[in-house]
Copies of this chain bind each other. A is one copy, B any other.
Amino acid sequence: MSDDFQNIRKKLLDITKKKVSESVSKDNMIINAISNVEELDKTINVLSGRLREWYALENPEVEDKIKDNEHLVSIVLDDSGEESIMGATFDEDDEKALKAMAVATSGLIQTKQFLLIYLEKTMKEFCPNVLGLAGVTIGARLLREAKSLRRMAILQSGTIQLLGAEKALFRHLRSGARSPKYGHIVNHPVVSNSKTVNRGKAARALADKLSMCARLDFFNGEYKADFYYDELKKKFN
């Protein structure tokens, strides 16, 4: 009897250890991945801006027409290298150097897309409710600011509402500036699509449901994110 008990105890301990280690590592994976996505985003902007400037020498007319940076990268990649009427002459080496920048930037765009797919897949297993209600980027950012799913599950919904607004919050505490109303969730459709007067209420309600999502996910509860989402949409959008 005592042996049996010891056995069961050991097995439960092992399972717990495994769960803890898995959970710690998935939190960290998600946090690293979203920070990498953000860094890639910045980098893609800067490099495609530089590419735009360089390409404008050769093809000012086209550069002027394409406003979107990522679109411009693909234009440069496909460009046959004939200069336009107003453009400067690029020789073969210039052309290759410009293309090398376009290839590098396009590689970063692909890596970002790959990481977003990875994030979605990982979160679908690890925190399906947070993913379902918050979406990939807002969900991962909330997890990062909360430090882990475990901590997010025990945070009050008022705190979740402000995750991502830490700077503004401390400014408020220090200097009495206006207190922030919401952090990352300001970009969530439930908040951004609601009427201005309802935005505070919508943020509060969303944070409330997100807190429940984190708890459901941490304690392996059922999937209720879609249900919550519909509820919120009906109420605020």
For A115, give its contact among B33, B97, B115 (CB under 8 Å): B97
A84 at the interface (CB under 8 A from B): no
Binds B, one of A42-50, A71-79, A214-222: A42-50
CA distance in complex: A47, B104 (Å): 13
A57 touches B32 (CB 8 A): yes
* Given contact pairs A32-B50, A35-B50, A114 touches B88 in the complex (Cβ within 8 A): no
A78 shortest CB reach to chain B, Å: 18
> What residues of chain B lie closer than 8 Å to A47, measured between beta carbons?
36, 39-40, 43
- With an 8 Å Cβ cutoff, the count of chain A residues facing the other chain is 38
Main secondary structure of the interface of A (DSSP, over half): helix
A21 at the interface (CB under 8 A from B): yes
A57 touches B28 (CB 8 A): yes
- Using a CB-CB cutoff of 8 Å, which residues 1-54 of chain A contact chain B? 21-22, 24-25, 28-29, 32-33, 35-36, 39-40, 43, 46-47, 50, 53-54
CA distance in complex: A33, B90 (Å): 13
A135 at the interface (CB under 8 A from B): no
A33: nearest residue on chain B (CB-CB)?
B97
CA distance in complex: A57, B33 (Å): 13
For A114, give its contact among B33, B35, B100, B107 (CB under 8 Å): B100
A39 shortest CB reach to chain B, Å: 6
B108 touches A104 (CB 8 A): yes
> What residues of chain B lie closer than 8 Å to A46, measured between beta carbons?
39, 43
**In the A-B complex, the 5 residue pairs with the closest CB atoms:** A25-B88, A104-B111, A32-B54, A97-B118, A107-B107
Interface, chain A (partner B; CB < 8 A): 21-22, 24-25, 28-29, 32-33, 35-36, 39-40, 43, 46-47, 50, 53-54, 57, 88-90, 93-94, 96-97, 100-101, 103-104, 107-108, 111, 114-115, 118, 121-122
User: What are 17 inter-chain pairs, A to B, with CB distance below 8 A?
Assistant: A21-B89, A24-B88, A25-B88, A25-B94, A32-B54, A35-B50, A36-B47, A36-B50, A39-B50, A40-B104, A43-B46, A97-B115, A97-B118, A100-B111, A103-B107, A103-B111, A104-B111
